[in-house]
Structure 1
């Protein structure tokens, strides 16, 4: 494993990891719908599959559902604390609001059980049925007050609704007022690239999907209307750190020309966003840090997905220090303190 910069006396915290509870099941009323994801574990417990109907959605490893296995892998990597969140396919924005609420409520309960069985090593982000905003707000409050989860994961789109759709605004207002941090994860990579092959959907689609969500938050009025909102976006905020200047320039043309006050305001909104540092190339990190601030960058691994996810993410950060792309003190905070600040812990 890479030699980590000292994390300033704080635990090393991974903000971006996924958990699929083995006991998660579809609502009884629509249990036959093949779109509901479920976990099938081999008899020996060494492998599993996320299934949708008879389709294998993804081959998975035990750390995805087994807490002791996960903790052993964290120990080997030198990660003290991990924030687990739903596998995005479970967010189920296609479902009826009542069914989604039942499914996600069960998942939130099971995430809370995983946290309780981790000896203080895990926190969790829950999920809410955003296709029914009133139900989503109710579950948001339950996640915070009853279950004590650290926040909520949402997708980049809710069905056909972009994040700046006025129908979703009451949810963001509630999250800001109650101090519930939100983690935005890409869910629509193939559609944004027109191609479903992994080379395109994973390599370009997820980053484009995330950039569209960030653009909606900044330019669509969400952050203006919810000044206390804490939002983090996965994968280094996607392509948004690169697309933002052109988007701002295009907006200025529509507004009649450059406006320094508007530019400063937009820069401030962008600087209020958070992101994980899962960018696969340390050369990307200085620009992300320049847009959001190094204090808003956090360790994220996508564990237990990808190839050697914990080591890959940690190596990116240590190489950033070795190449003088970020300071050792900045990276020490990225490894832990920043995530604690984002979560309000």
Structure 2
């Protein structure tokens, strides 16, 4: 069975020191301090250490063979978004990252599909890079769950989503810049609590802001199984019903009506939660994702789904069909002859 992991991250092995190039800011660059490893530096501060599977395409392909997974959808690491930077500098950085991802997909067409990053802080430049990536053949983009603390429902982002629909470009929403992060650094809470909340924030913003209602053909995938949204949709719906004066001010449609109209990946780490999400979301809107190569992701790339005794058609939806539908790609292009 074809397996496509639609949620993986990659970074070029060699990048400029953007802080030196632009003359300000805490941009990420790599210090290759020992074979097979690099320090991600944020300005002059150590951010995290990564291994060669963050940049080496051959290493990644061999890792994936262990789990019978043929194709990886690759996008940048969210810390690279750099939405806080001057817009033209962010465009420069985005173009560098997108060209790298495009070249990877061209070099390994059976193994890699790319998602682009765009300077969301500037609507005109974001659409400009979106159009360029469309010309390159990149089928979609990855964006953050908020843009410099602004929700995705803000009016200035709507033209970007509108352009995605017009260009037939898919959107992946990834949590980042987690709310309350500086107040809960202990116990890794930004990643354990903040990330799920960020994804629910993004979904609620797009629903209540009327983005899905106004753009019914926009194809959006929210990673980490939709964060905390699907588990709390009853509360969200109840809030919509009991206080429409606060919640339904921009869109009168019940939020539950949007279940099954966007995609989520399968990273639940829990078969029982996966059963619940299958029940309310449907297998055709659940994609295989791992968050490779990071440890908080699904380290066995869908193994728990194979062990759930699901119908073969459901597993095939999750493992490939849903991703192909989300990205509007043809299965035959990724099957070995």
TM-score normalized by structure 2? Answer: 0.90
Per the alignment, residue 69 of structure 1 pairs with: 59
Aligned to 2:38: 48
Hey, what's the Cα distance between the residues in 1 that align with 2:179 and 2:120?
A: 21
Q: Which runs of 5+ in 1 are unaligned?
A: 1-6
What's the secondary structure of 2:126's corresponding residue? helix
- Taking structure 1 as the reference length, the TM-score comes to 0.88
- Paired with 2:90 and 2:230, the residues of 1 have a C-alpha distance of 33
The 5-angstrom pairing of residues 1-345 of structure 1 reads: 7=1, 11-27=2-18, 31-44=22-35, 46-145=36-135, 147-189=136-178, 191=180, 194-255=183-244, 266-306=255-295, 309-311=298-300, 313-321=301-309, 326-345=310-329
2: distance between equivalents of 1:297 and 1:309? 15
Structure 2 unaligned residues grouped into runs of 5+: 330-337
1:34–1:54 CA contact under 8 A, matched in 2: no
CA distance in 2, matches of 1:136, 1:85: 16
Does the CA-based 8 Å contact 1:189-1:204 persist in structure 2?
Answer: no
Cα gap change, 1:308/1:190 in structure 2, threshold over 3 Å: closer, same or farther? closer
* CA displacement 1:246-287 (0-9 Å, x = unmatched): 11211112238xx9xx99753332321101101111111122
Q: Is the 8 A contact 2:290 2:297 kept in 1?
A: no
Which moved further from structure 2: 224-233 or 110-119? Answer: 110-119
Q: Give the stretch that moved more between structures: 242-251 or 159-168.
A: 242-251
Higher relative contact order (CA 8 A, sep 6+): 1
Count of residue pairs brought into register by the alignment: 325
Equivalent residue for 1:3?
none
Deviation at 1:142, TM superposition (A): 0.8
Aligned-pair CA distance for 1:219: 1.4
Alignment CA distance shift 1:230-1:338 (3 Å)? same
